[in-house]
Each structure stands twice: as C-alpha cells, then as structure tokens.
Structure 1
C-alpha cells in the first residue's frame, strides 16, 4: 500500500472515530437532560405533597375548632332526636286520651249542656227510672239520624235518645230507619199498632207492645199518635197582626210515658183535660 493510501485510510478512520465521539456526546447530553427533567418532576411532586401536608396539618387551633364543630353536631342530633321522640309521645298520648274519652262518652254520656234552657238535660227522676229498667226495649226512629243532627232545632231529639240509651245500661236500643226507602219497616209495627205511621215518628216497642210518638203536633192526622216530641205553639200579636210560632221540646216526658206503656203490664187509663177557648177537650191515653 502506498503512503498516500495509508494517509487516506487514517483520515477516514479518524473521521469515523470523531463521528462516534459526537454521537456518544449527544447521547450523554440527552441522558443528562432526561435526568434533570425527572428530578424536576420529583421535586414538584415533593413540593405538592409538602403543601398538602401543611394544609391538613393538625395545629392546636385546628384541633380545637374541629372539636367544637363535633360537639355542636352531636348536640344538634341529640336535641333533634329528643324533639322528634317528644312529638311522637305527645301525639300518641293525645290520640289515646281521645279514644278513651270517646269510649267513656259513649258509655256515660259526658256531654255538657251549655244551652240556657238545659235542652240536653234530663230530669233526675227520669234517670232513676231508666236505671231501674229490666226489660229490653227497642226505639225505632222513622227517619235518618242525619235529619236530626244537621238541624239545630231537631238535634235535641237525637241527643235525648242517646242519653236514654246510655242511662238504661243497655236495655234501650236506638235505630234510625228511612221510612220512605224501607216501607217494610213500618209494616212490622202495623201488626200491633192500628194508628197512622209516617216519617219522623218514634216507635217504642217491646214484643207485641207498641207505643208511637209523633214528631210534632203541627199538621192534621186522622189517626195519629197522641204524644209528640215537639210542641208547636202559635201566637198572634193583635197590635201588629204578626204571627209568632215557637217550637218546644217535650220529648223527655213523651218517651218516659211510652216506656212505661210498654213495660207496665197493667196500664192505667189517664184522663187529660185541656181548655181551648173556654171549651174543655177530653183526651185519654194509656200510661
């Protein structure tokens, strides 16, 4: 090999070595940059962790505030639960008292009469008579109960019947029947009562014994009952020529008379005299 070729070969070899050195240097620089980037990332993460730790650090002040909040939450829950329990207990007591009063009222009739004339009271002698009843007696009203309860003037009749039922210790039963819708109910009493029956009448019965009390003495009935629940009176003011009508309740006396009529096996005929325009009118009834 000539000297010229040897020099050329050495130059080529030197260039290859130089290229390899440059490549190695470039690789080293890339590795160093990657290492620096990784270190920077780790530093950032460490800083974030330190920041979070500092944020959630349990300083004495933070612990005190946390404890106060916990106590407040417990008190709020405690008082809220206690209030709910007290409310439930009070409601239960009110419901129980209402039920007990309802049962006692149906048994002993604790209604208070606040009317000026004592419309819902019954006489002590009537109470004594009812307490001594030994026979079972049925009272049938030929009308719906709502007919009386919804009318302020007629309500006294339903209340009085309830009082009679209560004071009789179970010997008197009361039933309301719509005579117009149940005509067969009237036919049952027709066997033992020859008089006229109509809606609103009160039938007192014990076996074959039947007594009937009319609603009021207003109107004309050819063969109606002789006693009534209400007494209708009409008066005339001759100065103003105005007519006044009053309705008074006489049902207690009529009921007692009818009850005596179906419980007394030996009724006595009583004569009653009324004066109308100076003329005596004689009426008789069995008691």
Structure 2
C-alpha cells in the first residue's frame, strides 16, 4: 500500500513540476518576444518575415535612419508594425516612429511645406537630409480584376529605401529613347531599389556628364552617325553601355558598326534548347554561367537566368579591348535563321548546333584628360525579354539578381546589391528543367515502387520461413 501511495505522490509531483516548467517557459518566452519582437508569421509565404538578405544589408548601416509611419497607431496596422519592429531590431541605428496625423497635424504640415504630399498609411524614410516616401498601398499587388492579393512587396521597398537614404548619392542610369525602346516597370523598380536614379536620354546632344550608365533596351530603329558619335564620346569618358537586342530587328548598321569596334556582333537567329528551358518551351532558354564578375553571385546560389527569345552572338579580337563571355547555352541548344518560315520549336535539319554565346562584355582601360584612369564598358545581350516584368517577378529564376549584378558591374561594382523579390501570396512556382523532370518521373514511377516491392517481398519471405 505504501508503495502504491508513494507512486501516486511521485506521479502527482512530476505533473506539478511539468506544469510549473511549462508556465515558467511561457513567461520566459513572452519576455523574450516582448524584448526582441519575435512573432510567429503563420502566412504561407512568411509575408511579414524579414529575409536574411535584409538582415545582412541592415548590419552594414553606419548612420542613423529614421522611419516614420503615418497611421493611427501600431494597432491599426498590426501585421505591418511587426515587420517594422524587425527592422528596428536588426540594427539599433534604425528608429521607427508612429505619427498619428490627427493628433500631430503639424508633422504633416511641415512635410507639406517641403513639397511632400503625405497622407495616412504612408512610410517616410530619412537619413542625412535624404528622404524616401511611399504609401503602404504601393506594397500590395492585386490580380487584374482586383479580387485577389498576389504579391506583398514591403520588404524590398523598406530595405532599399533605408540603404538608399543612408548611402548618399545615387548612380544615374540614362535610358536611351527615340528608337522604340521600352523600359518595363519592374526593371525600373529594381534599379531604384538599388539606389540608381533613372531618367530618359535623347541623343540629340552629348550624354549628360552626370550619367553613369546608358541602357539601350532593344531599339527598333537604327541610331544616326551623330548619335553613335555621342555614344563613343560617352564611352571615352569611362561610361558603360548596356545594350539588349531584339532578334526580330535585323539591320541596325550604325549601331552594329559601333559594336564591331568593340569586338561584338549579333547573329540573325533565334536560339532554342529542348533540354534546358522553362515552361516546357524551348525558346525560354536556361543559360549557363561563365566566369565573370556579373555571374559571381551564382557560384554559391543556385538560380537559373532565363533568356527567352534570344539571338546568339560572336566575339572577335578588337584592339585594346578585353572581351569576356557572360552567358552561354548548353550543348543541346540549336539556332534557327530568323527568316525561316517554319514555326515549330522542334529541331530542324537546317538548324545550327550549339553551344552558343548569349551575353558578353567588352571593356577598355582609358586615361582621362586629367590623367585619371577609368574603364569603358559595354555589355551586350540578344534578348529583350530577359528583363521583362514576367521574368523579374518570377521568384524561381535568377533574372532579377542577374540584372542587379549587371548594373553594379556597370557602376564598377559599387554599392550593395538588393534584389529581394516580392512575397508571393500562395504557392510559389519552382523551376524544374525537362531533364530533371524526366529523372524525377523515373524515380517516382519506377525506382520507389520497385524498392517498396522488394522490401515487401523480403518481409513476406522472412515471415514465411518463421
């Protein structure tokens, strides 16, 4: 009886100890959460979590940044305020202040006097006299009919805004205009996120002195000799020209002559790859990286850069120029003359076998008039869809990161690269190459069932002989 009674007492004591430990653990957890603003984000894609990339970038800050949230209070934007808390917790130099416009109208009046039209649910990021202002509504992307939330882009906007105001002067990109060029919205947003100012440039006069990079985004008509002269003068001052070609536009003799001086030529073809592509479409070619500063990131980060509807290129020696390949195809690729009337994507007997060069750079070390050293650079690629809205928002590929690294290379690799994609609401797509899909199909339809059959047969035979 005493033993049974002792067991009951011991059991009750264990239960009490466990309950006390759980209560103590709960108290400690609550204290930690209150101090460090740790919250469990139960959304499927972690909408209100901050990526490690943002954490690492914020740790580089060396001056205070003020983030003002114009709202009725943190409780009115609870989930968003939790994200802001994470920014404040990542670096003590980031200060978050909530401003109630109804309780403190003088704050908005001061901004209005400075030319800022600010309303409720607005974020203001300031440092060193520099300012970024954007609405919380700008962070949400809805479906075409407005019925469904598709993307949440708060992290990219906040991180880039903080880095931009803290880093000082932004490099300037000039987008060449007047030849049918088109600047996709996502490409523009990506450049601005990475502290680049963007403006249009018409070559009816020399390129502005404060322009660091020129973008020629698939011009549909040729440049005049006067315009190519302005481009050559820009390069002679250590500028960078990034040119993307449209395979459907064949004859641009003046522009082609400029590229030829730099050892670059485009072929009049379209490249396909039946083995390395996405969406089961051979025209959406998955590229292979060569050893180049632009592709260095991808050595340790396994993302594909996709070059849809690309034309191949050729390089030739050019005096004083250093030429390097950037992107290429697999050996399974094939190229078709642009004038071929056959519409099939399957390989034809007349198609040229791969591999092919899809992107390359040419650079030259120069001495400026004041004796300073500089590097003139040209990047060339035969795909205009590589920077399309579709490719830059597709989180399963590396096109956004590639474009950021290209801009940084053009700017002599200065500044931190920010390419945080929008958080996709719901399931994210995963890129699987045809060859990989075939191998996985064999594993799931043959290897695994065979292994299960063998395992079951082994157990059956063992039991039979018991």
Structure 2-normalised TM-score? 0.33
Q: Which residue of 2 aligns with 1:19?
A: none
Instruction: Please give the alpha-carbon distance, in whole angstroms, between the structure 2 residues aligned to 1:205 and 1:194.
Output: 15
**Distance apart, 1:204 and its partner CA:** 1.0
CA contact (8 A) 1:139 1:204 kept: yes
Q: How many residues matched?
A: 184
- From the superposition, tell whether residues 126 and 264 of structure 1 become closer, same or farther in structure 2 (CA, over 3 Å): same
CA contact (8 A) 1:234 1:246 kept: no
CA contact (8 A) 1:108 1:167 kept: no
Within the candidate set 93, 98, 106, 1:184 is matched to 106
Q: Which residue of 2 aligns with 1:263?
A: 166
Q: Which runs of 5+ in 1 are unaligned?
A: 1-74, 150-154, 217-227, 236-242
CA contact (8 A) 2:128 2:166 kept: no
Structure 1 position 127 matched with structure 2 position 55: yes
**Distance apart, 1:140 and its partner CA:** 1.2
Map 1:186-205 → 2, pairs under 5 A: 186-190=108-112, 193-205=114-126
CA contact (8 A) 2:70 2:122 kept: yes
Within the candidate set 119, 124, 149, 1:246 is matched to 149
CA contact (8 A) 1:180 1:199 kept: no
Instruction: Please give the alpha-carbon distance, in whole angstroms, between the structure 1 residues aligned to 2:183 and 2:153.
Output: 22
Instruction: Please give the alpha-carbon distance, in whole angstroms, between the structure 2 residues aligned to 1:158 and 1:269.
Output: 33
Instruction: Please give the alpha-carbon distance, in whole angstroms, between the structure 1 residues aligned to 2:175 and 2:100.
Output: 33
Instruction: Please give the alpha-carbon distance, in whole angstroms, between the structure 2 residues aligned to 1:175 and 1:279.
Output: 39
Instruction: Please give the alpha-carbon distance, in whole angstroms, between the structure 1 residues aligned to 2:173 and 2:157.
Output: 14
Structure 1 position 104 matched with structure 2 position 14: no
Within the candidate set 129, 147, 172, 2:76 is matched to 147
String of CA shifts for 1:113-140, please: whole Å, max 9, x gaps. Answer: 3322221332221110122222222211
Instruction: Please give the alpha-carbon distance, in whole angstroms, between the structure 1 residues aligned to 2:44 and 2:108.
Output: 37
Structure 1 position 167 matched with structure 2 position 95: no
- From the superposition, tell whether residues 245 and 91 of structure 1 become closer, same or farther in structure 2 (CA, over 3 Å): closer
String of CA shifts for 1:171-224, please: whole Å, max 9, x gaps. Answer: 212222221332112234446x523111000111224222112122xxxxxxxx
CA contact (8 A) 1:106 1:166 kept: no
CA contact (8 A) 2:39 2:82 kept: no
Higher relative contact order (CA 8 A, sep 6+): 2
**Distance apart, 1:253 and its partner CA:** 0.6
Q: Which runs of 5+ in 2 are unaligned?
A: 196-466
**Distance apart, 1:158 and its partner CA:** 1.9
CA contact (8 A) 2:61 2:163 kept: no
- Provide the aligned C-alpha RMSD in A: 4.0
**Distance apart, 1:280 and its partner CA:** 5.1
Structure 1-normalised TM-score? 0.51
